Chains A and B, each alone.
Chain A
Amino acid sequence: MTLPRQRAGRVAVLAVTISAIVVVFVAIMVGAVPLPPRVVFAALMSAESPHAEIVRSLRVPRVLLAFVVGGSLAVCGAALQAVVRNPLAEPWLLGVSGGASLGAVIATIVGLPPGWSVAACASAGALLAAAVVYRISTIRGRRLDSNVLVLAGVVIAAFAGALTTIMLAVVDPFTFRAATMWMFGGFAGASWQALRDFAVIAVVPLGIIAWLARPLDLIALGDDAATSLGADVDRVRRIAVVVTSVLTAATVSAAGVIGFVGLIVPHAMRWMVGPLHRRLLPVAFVAGGGFTVLADTVARSVTSSELPVGTITALIGVPTFAVLLRRSIR
């Protein structure tokens, strides 16, 4: 028996997937040199075609990096929202992005080369922030309080932001410019190498989150219900916090801090396909990817100089979020 709601869910999945493919293709067409679809096709098919260099070395890696980074942020948001049972949770709100950004800035200031070492420092920062937030919210052996967790996250995010600002105040202008890249997200530095580095770090956390899809469904119900339905609540929560921290750190070292994707996308997709994570996580990945590619395309084409992609995700995200919030209340 096919339910109307399940059919609606399938239509939504199809619509999201097709939209994402269209957005990705249009993003490859758009740029300083606009390329018609025919030329893009030709460049994708043959390295000998006229604009192959622009398409293959610049636009495709950039679009793909934006897609996987955005998808990962949406997946992190969906998982964290279930874990802390709060629809407002996302890596930024829980202080994880702030910790990752601080780690990356420190790495840059002490002169570590971009790539693995920055990613490692970002991961260390993200995990440290998550550990402190987690520790604050589980005082005296009591169970984790999701409201305290979110408050602790906001406080740690502010603290990491303050430390970052102090550090940037004392460095030379060149380091300042390099370091601020981690604070304001963007894909200007995208390359096949950056894409490969990101993919290598991201694949394990993404796999683990997929593996946790069912326990996440249960944890969203509350600790008592989840326990009685067979979820090892503390263990799943700890694993989820660690893997989302590492994944967030990977996105920060690839493209800096990008807010709102982890907040809006899971929220919108939950509204379309329901809250069960076996359906939600893959759809959120595709939608988060498409949304971030769209935001990046706008960021690099509306003004002569490039805007930080986070400003666009906020500009699109906030009104969308407000509309969704009103709809869900009605």
Chain B
Amino acid sequence: MLRAEQMTVRYPGLAVPALEDVSIQLDPGNLVVIAGPNGSGKSTLQRALLGAIPLASGTVSLDGRSVGSRTRRAIARSVAALPQREESPFPMSVRDAVMLGRWTHLAPLAAAGPLDDAAAAQAIARCDVGHLVDRRVDTLSGGEWQRVRLARTLAQQPRVLLLDEPNAALDVGHEMALFALLRSLVQDGMGIMVITHQLNVASRHADRIVLLRRGRVVGDGAPANIMRPDLLSALFEWPIEVVTLSDGTQQFVPEPGPVPNR
């Protein structure tokens, strides 16, 4: 449903493209993980899929129609995205913050109705932030804020979810709960793309892993085909060992390696 073909993105003033010839498809009921070293173009990929940055070449389409020909509000009703960073100088309550996910469904001067309240309440419950609704967002811990932001994207009731390092500030318990939640959303038919450095968690939960390096796709396949020591060592420029657990999932372990001279 969300499909990018041979995208190239150049930032002004930079000689090397941020993304080069990247094609990616996100289907309903699929969880795709994007991984790669810092600066490999992961966040740029998310922006490009949203139609938020101009493409030097290539196309992005949603249900066969170019995202560029749709309004931002129309896109946001189908595709919700969690950016890596955001900081508002004007903190609000958690309840209000989650309700912002409904704005795309509301006419400019209309008040939120029972449907909006229900969608927000469901999102709040799924992300386990019900006990925080009356708190101001600037009093939350990093992990709590991350879950509130995720609840906001679910309140949009999207068909496609794009998440940029959603587990960055989460403890192990909440990280596992997050991926369990993403799996259940996928089972309900959502298409989800997650950018993360946690390949071990991705290996368990992803349907596909796409590896990016210097703006290019250098690996795309089922976790078992991607979790290979040669591929990962070359990608991260560090010796990496891959072990197979009793349930068959691969986990990667960085080796002590040489004296760093990078």
A interface with B by C-beta (< 8 Å): 3-5, 81-82, 85-87, 140-142, 210-215, 217-218, 220-222, 224-225, 227-232, 270, 274-276, 278
Contacts and interface: CB of A to CB of B under 8 A. Distances in A.
A276 B96 contact: yes
23 contacts: A3-B93, A81-B90, A82-B90, A85-B88, A85-B89, A87-B89, A211-B109, A218-B103, A220-B90, A221-B86, A222-B88, A224-B47, A225-B86, A228-B52, A228-B76, A228-B80, A229-B76, A229-B152, A230-B76, A232-B71, A274-B93, A274-B96, A275-B92
Contact of A224 (B86, B88, B152): B86
A232 B73 CA distance: 8
A3 B13 contact: no
Interface of B: 12-13, 47, 50, 52, 71-73, 75-77, 79-93, 95-96, 100-101, 103-104, 106, 108-109, 111, 133-134, 152-153, 156, 162
A206 B95 CA distance: 28
B76 A87 contact: no
A3 B81 contact: no
Q: Is chain A's binding surface mostly helix, strand, loop or mixed?
A: helix
A230 B13 CA distance: 28
Q: Counting chain A CB atoms within 10 Å of each CB, which of B79, B86, B153, B156 scores highest? A: B86
Contacts of A224: 47, 52, 81, 83-86
B81 A142 contact: no
Contacts of B77: 230
Contacts of A213: 108-109
Contact of B83 (A210, A211, A222): A222
A151 to B, nearest CB: 17
Contacts of A5: 93, 134
Contacts of A278: 111
A218 B100 contact: yes
A245 B104 CA distance: 27
A206 to B, nearest CB: 13
B12 A141 contact: yes
Contacts of A275: 88, 90-92
A228 B103 CA distance: 11
A173 to B, nearest CB: 46
A213 B107 CA distance: 11
Q: Which 5 A-B pairs have the closest CB atoms?
A: A230-B76, A230-B104, A224-B83, A228-B81, A275-B90
Given A228-B50, A230-B77, A231-B72, A214 B90 contact: no
Contact of B134 (A3, A212, A222): A3
B73 A230 contact: yes
Nearest to B96: A276
A222 B103 contact: no
A213 B101 CA distance: 15
Given A142-B12, A215-B103, A221-B88, 14 more contacts: A3-B95, A4-B134, A81-B90, A214-B106, A217-B100, A224-B85, A224-B86, A225-B86, A227-B52, A227-B72, A228-B162, A232-B71, A232-B73, A276-B96
A218 B96 CA distance: 12
Nearest to B97: A221
A214 B96 CA distance: 12
A140 B14 CA distance: 12
B227 to A, nearest CB: 30
Nearest to A279: B96
A322 B225 CA distance: 61
A11 B237 CA distance: 60
A220 B95 contact: no
B89 A214 contact: no
Contacts of A230: 72-73, 75-77, 103-104, 156
A214 to B, nearest CB: 5
A213 B111 CA distance: 12
B83 A228 contact: yes
A231 B82 CA distance: 14
A140 B71 contact: no
Contacts of B90: 81-82, 87, 220, 270, 275
A82 B101 CA distance: 18
Nearest to B77: A230
A264 to B, nearest CB: 15
Nearest to B93: A5
